[in-house]
Amino acid sequence: MSENQNKDLPISPDLLEILRCPLAVQSDQYGDDPGRLELVHNCWLVCADSDLKYPIIDGIPVMLIEEGMKWKDTLVKDLPVPPPKP
């Protein structure tokens, strides 16, 4: 990814690489590297393991399980952009 593309991201690729879903990492049912997150709509972090979705508000990922649970049943395509502030 080029440096210009990185500037358009709400969080750094390095941070995205190390962040994990706090719910999924508590379980042993998701394999060796549970809770990996995918950036969607450039303002949400989505965990395929737990199906929790965490908003990025003002450049800060809101990685609270309670916040992720609010959006669990919302389809990725239906997530609001930008996310509402908690």
How do the domains of the chain map onto residue ranges? 3-78
Handedness of CA 74, 84, 61, 16 (dihedral sign): positive
Q: Distance (Å, rounded) from C-alpha 18 to C-alpha 15?
A: 5
Report the side by side order of strands in the sheet with 60-61: 37-40, 44-47, 53-57, 60-61
Query: How does pLDDT run across 11-56, given as a tens digit for each residue?
Result: 999 999 999 999 999 988 988 899 999 999 999 999 999 999 999 9
Is residue 1 scored above 80 in pLDDT?
no
* pLDDT attached to residue 85: 86
Q: What is the pTM of this model?
A: 0.88
Residues with Cβ < 8 Å from 15, sequence gap 6 or more?
61
